[in-house]
Amino acid sequence: MRRVLQLVVVLLSVVTLATGCDFFRKLAGRPTSSEIEATREVIKLKTASPPAPVAVRDTVTESPEVSKEPVASVPQVEGKKRYYIVMASFSSASNASKYAERLSAKGYKPELFGFKGGFTGVGICGTDDEAEAKSSLKEVKRQDFCPDGVWILDRNKR
C-alpha cells in the first residue's frame, strides 16, 4: 500500500511539473490560463476608449468644382515653432500653467497647447528642425525631472 501511495505522489508531481496548474484547473472545472487571458482581452476591448467621433462632411471642399489635388503642408503660425517636446497634458489649464512654471524654474521656455477634448499640453524646446527636436528629446529624457511618455509634437500634422 505504501508503494502505491508513493507511486501516486510521484505521478502527481510529474503531471504537475509537466502540465502546470491548468491540468488541475480543468479537472476542477475552473478556467485555464489561456481562457483567463482570452477573457482579459475581451474586457480590454470592451473598456477601451470609444473611437473618435466622425467629422461632419465639408460640403464646400467636397463639391465637384474643387480640385482633388493634395494640399501642401499647413502653414506655420507666426511666432510658433513646428516641433515641441510635449512634457505633459492636463485637463485643467491651471495645472498646466503650474507645471509650465516648474519647467521655467528648470531653465526651459514652456509653451501651452490646446488639444482635443479640452486638454492643455505643456511643450518645451521648440524648433523648426526635426533632427534637433529628436536630439533635444534624448537630452530631456536623461533629466531626472522628465516623466515617462514624453513625445514630439509636429504642429504641421493635424
pLDDT at position 70 is: 37
Range of the domain at 98: 83-154
Asked whether residue 68 is domain-assigned, the answer is: no
Please tell me the distance from the alpha carbon of residue 85 to that of residue 136, in angstroms, as a whole number. 8
pLDDT above 50 (res 71): no
124-157: per-residue pLDDT in tens? Answer: 998 889 899 999 899 988 888 888 888 888 887 7
Asked whether residue 102 is domain-assigned, the answer is: yes
pLDDT at position 135 is: 92
Q: What is the DSSP string of 45-82?
A: HHHSPPPPPPPPP-TTTTSTTS--PPPPPPPPPTT--S
* 87, 149: one domain: yes
- CATH number, domain of 145, equals 3.30.70.1070
| Torsion angle in degrees (nearest 10) through CA of 97, 102, 103, 105 | 130
* 147, 89: one domain: yes
For the segment 79-108, the average pLDDT, to the nearest whole number, is: 88
For 79, 134, 137, the CA distances from 131, given in Å and listed in that order, are 20, 5, 10
pLDDT at position 118 is: 86
pLDDT at position 158 is: 53
* 94, 149: one domain: yes
For the segment 13-41, the average pLDDT, to the nearest whole number, is: 77
Please tell me the distance from the alpha carbon of residue 120 to that of residue 109, in angstroms, as a whole number. 16
User: What long-range pairs does 93-96 form, CB within 8 A, spacing at least 24?
Assistant: 93/120, 96/120, 96/121, 96/122
What is the pTM assigned to this prediction?
Answer: 0.48
Mean pLDDT of the chain: 76
**pLDDT tier at 105, thresholds 50, 70, 90:** very high
CB 96 within 8 Å of CB 90? yes
Asked whether residue 12 is domain-assigned, the answer is: yes
Q: How many domains does the chain divide into?
A: 2
For the segment 49-58, the average pLDDT, to the nearest whole number, is: 47
Please tell me the distance from the alpha carbon of residue 37 to that of residue 139, in angstroms, as a whole number. 39
More confident: 21 or 146: 146
* 40, 90: one domain: no
Q: What share of the chain has pLDDT > 70, as a percent?
A: 74
pLDDT at position 43 is: 84
pLDDT at position 75 is: 36
* 95, 140: one domain: yes
